């Protein structure tokens, strides 16, 4: 059975996702079937670039559609993740949502409850969990090759000061919700268990988000 993907938004991350799917030799009968964006012209440009057959005028139109898409990939800005994921789940579509799935625990729990109630697939798109190096590392830990792991230190940094989605509070601005997700999930990937204590230190910028520029 062909698995038909709908792409929600037409930005760079969505383009990266489509390229990854189309270039993966083991994708089987999966196909990128449709795209929707707030601006139809952007969706049409995206569809032309990636040879996508169907363009929707709106996210609502894709959600309301029947027989076009089975699962959607949501690559919109962080503050839109909750509403869009809820929309598509309510309409019976499976969802792969870009990280972070939501801006807080309450929103995420609400989506998980809907997915369970409707028996739909719902997943946060943390791509690195499927990288060959992760799988090899997990195998070495499980086999005892690395001994009993007691400490994990993770560092990940890139220039972010000029990125609005990180610096502006109304866009969900947070280094933690962007690349910080990779450091948190890596620790959980190694230890498997939930943390018993979380300690955080940070400073917000003048717009209520983060990060701050280096002195």
Domain boundaries defined on the chain: 3-125, 129-191
Mean pLDDT of 131-152: 94
Report the SS3 class of residue 182: helix
pLDDT given at position 167 = 77
| pLDDT over threshold 90, residue 83 | yes
Write out the CATH class of domain 3-125: alpha beta
Q: Across the chain, what does the average pLDDT equal?
A: 90
pLDDT confidence tier of residue 213, bands split at 50, 70 and 90: low
Tell me which DSSP letter residue 127 carries: G
- Cα–Cα dist 22/43, whole Å: 18
User: How far apart are the C-alpha atoms of 69 and 203, rounded to whole Å?
Assistant: 43
DSSP string, 151-176: ----------TT-HHHHBGGGT--TT
Q: Do residues 93 and 66 make contact, with C-beta atoms less than 8 angstroms apart?
A: no
Predicted confidence (pLDDT) at residue 212 exceeds the cutoff of 70: no
CB 179 within 8 A of CB 156: yes
Q: What are the DSSP calls for 36-77, one per residue?
A: E-SSHHHHHHHHHHHT-SEEESSHHHHHH-SSS-SEEEE-S-
> How many alpha carbons fall within 13 Å on the CB side of residue 120?
24
Q: What is the mean pLDDT of residues 58-84?
A: 96
pLDDT for 168 equals: 79
Is the pLDDT at 193 greater than 90, yes or no?
no
């Amino acid at each position: 059975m062909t698995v038909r993907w709908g792409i929600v938004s037409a930005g760079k991350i969505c383009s990266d996702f489509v390229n990854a799917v189309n270039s993966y030799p083991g994708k089987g009968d999966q196909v990128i079937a449709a795209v929707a964006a707030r601006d139809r012209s952007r969706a049409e440009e995206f569809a032309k670039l990636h040879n996508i057959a169907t363009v929707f005028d709106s996210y609502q139109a894709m959600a309301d559609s029947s027989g076009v898409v089975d699962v959607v990939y949501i690559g919109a800005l962080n503050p839109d993740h909750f509403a869009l994921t809820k929309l598509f789940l309510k309409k019976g579509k499976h969802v792969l949502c870009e990280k972070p799935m939501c801006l807080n625990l309450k929103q995420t729990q609400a989506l998980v409850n809907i997915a369970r109630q409707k028996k739909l697939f719902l997943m946060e798109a943390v791509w690195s969990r499927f990288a060959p190096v992760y799988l090899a590392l997990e195998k070495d830990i499980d086999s005892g090759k690395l001994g009993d792991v007691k400490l994990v230190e993770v560092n990940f940094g890139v220039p972010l000061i000029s990125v609005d989605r990180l610096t502006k509070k109304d866009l969900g601005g947070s280094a933690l919700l962007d690349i910080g997700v990779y450091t948190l999930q890596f620790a959980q990937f190694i230890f498997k268990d939930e943390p018993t204590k979380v300690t955080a230190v940070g400073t917000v910028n003048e717009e209520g988000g983060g990060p701050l520029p280096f002195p």
